[in-house]
Chain A
Amino acid sequence: MFKRGLKKALALTLALTFALTGCAQSGGTTQGKPSNEVVATENNEKNVKAGFIFMGPVADGGWSQSHNEGRLAAEAALGIETLYKESVPETQEVEKVARDMIDQGCNVIFAASFGYMDYIEKLAKEFPEVTFFHCSGYKTAENMSNYFGKIEDARYLSGLVAGLQTKTNQIGYVAAMPLPEVVRGINAFALGVKAVNPEATVKVSWTNAWYDPAKEKEAGSALIDGGCDVLAQHQNAAGAQQAAEEKGVWSIGYHADMSAVAPNANLTSAVWNWGPYYIEAIQSVMDGTYTAESYWEGIEAGVVDVSPLTANASAEAKEVVDAAKAQMLEGTLKAFQGPIVDQAGNERVAEGSELSDEEQLSCDWFVDNVIGEINQ
C-alpha cells in the first residue's frame, strides 16, 4: 500500500515539475545587464531602473520583440538597468509582475499591451513614487502616461507601394480583429493605394486571431486564389508573407522588417521603432521633467517607419515613397487627409481637412476602395 502511495506521489511530483519548468522556461524574469557603465548619478540625475512587461515572447518576431528592441536601445543609450518579463497575460498576473519589479527596485514601469491598462491604473495609485507608462490605452494619472504610435503613417506609405505594384488591381489584407486600431490601419493603407492607383481595391479577410501562423497563411492563400497579387497584413506572425512567397506574388509586412521571411515576395514592412520614445521617456524621469501625457505620434517622431523597399519593388515606388515620407516629415501630408469617402459613398472628411484623433480612435467604417465588412 505504502509503496503504491509513494509511486503516486512521485508521479504527481514529476508531472508538476514538468508543468512548472514549462512555464518558467517560457517566461522567467530575466535580468538585463547594463551594457554601459556610466553612472547616472554623476549629473545629479535620478537613478532609474526600468521594468518592462510584454504580452508575448520577446522573440515573437513582432509586437513584443519591437518593444524589447526599444528596451535594449534605451539601456544602451542611457546606461540604465532594466528588467523585463515576457508572456505576461492580460490578467491580474500583470499586477503581480509589476509589484515584483517594484520590489526589485524598479521606479519606472512600461506595460506594453492594451489589456494591462486597468491594473496599471490601480498600481499607479498605490505606488505614487513609481512612474508608469502604458502602451496603446487611454488612461492617465499623475504618475501614469499612455503611449502609442501612428502606424497609420507607415501603412499609408506601404499602401503607395502596393498600389504601384499590383497588376490585377486586387490587393489582399489579412487582418486580425475588427477593432478600430486594425480598421484605421486598413483605411490608411487603402488611402495610400488610392493615391497612386484609383482602380485598385483592398480585399479584407478577418482571421479573428492575432497569432496563428497556419491560419494567417491560409487566409493569404485564399485571397491570392481569389485574384489578389499583393498581400498586406495586420497579424503578429508572418503567415501571409509565406503565402505570397509560395504563390509567387508580393507582400507587405508589419511590426518588423519581414523581408527575410519572404525574400522574393516582400516589398516593404510597416515597422515600429520604440527606441527613441523609450529613451526620451526615461530621460524625462531622470531629469525630473516628467509630466503625465498621452503620447501618440507618427512618422515624424520616428516611432513608426517603413522598412527600406526591397529589390522586389520598383524604382518608381521608392521615389514615390521617399517623396511622400518627406512630405509627412514636413507635415504637408497626412495619412487621413480629405477627401475621404466611405463604402456607402458618404463623405467622411472634406477636402482640406483631416480626420481628428478622436475619430481615428473610434474608426468603425471602411474607405470606399475597401472590400469587406466590419460587423459580420
Chain B
Amino acid sequence: MNIESFLTAAVIAGMPLLFATLGGIMSEKVGHLNLGVEGMMVMGAVMGFITSVQTQNPYLALLSAMAAGGVGALIYAVLTISLRANQVVTGLALTIFGTGFTNFVGQSFVGQIVPESVKTFFAPIAIPVLSNIPIIGGAFFNQSLFVYLGYGIAVILMLYYVVTKVGLNARMIGENPGAADAAGIPVALYKYINIVLGGMLCGLSGAFLSLVYVPSWQQNITAGKGWIAVALVIFIGWNPVKAIFGAILFGALDILGLRLQAAGIQINQYFVDMLPYLMTIIFLVIGSIRTGGASKGPKALGEAYFREDR
C-alpha cells in the first residue's frame, strides 16, 4: 500500500467531516446540540451542485451551498431558540426534512456531472515548498482550494474562540447563558448567528462531497457522514484545530478497509466501519476517567435558555 496516496485519499475523505465538525462545534459552543448536521450537509450538497450546473460558477455554487445550510440551521434556530423546542427532536426533524427536500429537488439531476470549469477551479494546487515535504507534503499541501479553505476556517475558528471578545462571549453562552445574559450579552442574537454560521459550514461540507469528492449528483450523497461528524465533535473535544486531525483520522479509518483490500489484505468492512464510533466511545471513557466524570463540552449544551426561567 502506497502511504502517500493513502494519506492523500484520507485528507480528501476527511474534508467533509472537517467542515461538518466545525459547523457542529459552532452550534454546540453556544449550547445547541444540532443533530440536523446530515440534513444541512445534504441540502448544501444539492444546492451547491445545482448552482454549479446552472451557472458554471464555483463561487456562486459555494455561496448557495452555504445559504442552503444556513436556511436549514435557521429553521432549527427559530424552533429551538425562540420556540424552545426540544433540540434533539428538532435536529432529527431537520435531518429528515433535509433528506426529503434534497431527494425532491435533486431528482432530475441524478447522474449529471459537475461542469469542467468548476472541476478545474477545485483541481489540486501544490503549495510551493510545503508540498515538497516527503510523504505528508503531497497529501496535505497538494490539494484542492476547498481543502485549504477547510484548514483556514479551522484556524480562524480557533482564534475566534480564544482571542476575540465575541468568541469568548459565545463560549460563555454555552457554559452559562444566565451569567452571559446578566453580563449584557444578547444571548438569543449570539445563538442565532453562531448556529446559522455553523449551518453554513455544514452546507460547505455537503458541497465538498458533490463538487469535489464525487463530482456528480447522486441521491443521499452524504450516506451518514453527518452522524460521524456529530461523534467527531465530541472526539476532538470541541477544539477546531484538533478537528483537522480528527477529521483526517476518521477519514483514514473510513477508507482503510478499501485500501487494505486493494493491497490484497482481507479485512471485514463492517469492522472498519465500526472503528470511528468505537474510538469515540473509548475516548469518551478515557476523557471521563481523566477528568473524574466532568465533560469537556459546554455546560449548558442541550438546555433551552429562557430569561424568565432564571
A, B from the same assembly: yes
Closest A residue to B12 by CB, please name it: A218
B99 touches which of A22, A60, A207 (Cβ 8 Å): A22
Q: How far is the CA of A367 from the CA of B96 in the complex (A)?
A: 44
Q: How far is the CA of A224 from the CA of B266 in the complex (A)?
A: 17
Q: Is B160 an interface residue when CB atoms closer than 8 A count as contact? A: no
Are A25 and B218 touching (Cβ within 8 A)? Answer: no
B309 to chain A, nearest CB (A): 10
Interface string of A49-68 (1 = CB under 8 A from B): 00000001101110001000
Q: Which of B2, B111, B113, B259 has the most CB of A within 10 A?
A: B111
Q: How far is the CA of A8 from the CA of B254 in the complex (A)?
A: 40
Q: How far is the CA of A213 from the CA of B221 in the complex (A)?
A: 6
Give every chain B residue within 8 A of A242 (Cβ-Cβ). Answer: 113, 214-216
Closest A residue to B308 by CB, please name it: A4
Known contacts A7-B83, A209-B223; is A223 also within 8 Å of B262 by CB?
yes
Q: Is B79 an interface residue when CB atoms closer than 8 A count as contact? A: yes
A119 to chain B, nearest CB (A): 24
A18 touches which of B5, B6, B93, B110 (Cβ 8 Å): B93
Q: Is B255 an interface residue when CB atoms closer than 8 A count as contact? A: yes
Give every chain B residue within 8 A of A18 (Cβ-Cβ). Answer: 75, 93-94, 96-97
Are B111 and A261 touching (Cβ within 8 A)? Answer: yes
B266 touches which of A61, A215, A373 (Cβ 8 Å): A373
A: contact size bracket: 35 or more
Interchain pairs with CB closer than 8 A, number: 158
Q: How far is the CA of A228 from the CA of B264 in the complex (A)?
A: 13
Give every chain A residue within 8 A of B108 (Cβ-Cβ). Answer: 59
Known contacts A213-B214, A242-B214, A261-B216; is A371 also within 8 Å of B264 by CB?
yes
Q: Is B107 an interface residue when CB atoms closer than 8 A count as contact? A: yes
Are A206 and B261 touching (Cβ within 8 A)? Answer: yes
Interface string of B80-108 (1 = CB under 8 A from A): 00011100011011101111110110011
Q: How far is the CA of A258 from the CA of B111 in the complex (A)?
A: 8
Q: How far is the CA of A219 from the CA of B214 in the complex (A)?
A: 12
Closest A residue to B79 by CB, please name it: A11
Q: Is B159 an interface residue when CB atoms closer than 8 A count as contact? A: no
Q: Is A23 an interface residue when CB atoms closer than 8 A count as contact? A: yes
B229-280 residues at the A interface, CB under 8 angstroms: 254-255, 258-259, 261-264, 266-270, 273
Q: Is A26 an interface residue when CB atoms closer than 8 A count as contact? A: yes
Are A214 and B209 touching (Cβ within 8 A)? Answer: yes
Q: Which of B5, B85, B112 has the most CB of A within 10 A?
A: B85
Interface string of A160-174 (1 = CB under 8 A from B): 000000000000100
Q: Which of B84, B99, B214 has the most CB of A within 10 A?
A: B214
Listed from nearest, the 4 A-B pairs whose CB atoms lie closest are: A22-B100, A11-B85, A11-B83, A222-B262
User: A residues near B, CB below 8 A?
Assistant: 4, 7-8, 10-12, 14-16, 18-19, 21-26, 56-57, 59-61, 65, 87, 172, 203-209, 211-215, 217-219, 221-223, 225-226, 228, 237-239, 242, 246, 258, 260-261, 371-373, 376
What are 15 A-B contacts with C-beta separation under 8 Å? A7-B83, A8-B85, A11-B85, A22-B101, A61-B218, A213-B209, A213-B223, A217-B213, A218-B258, A222-B255, A239-B214, A261-B216, A371-B264, A376-B268, A376-B269
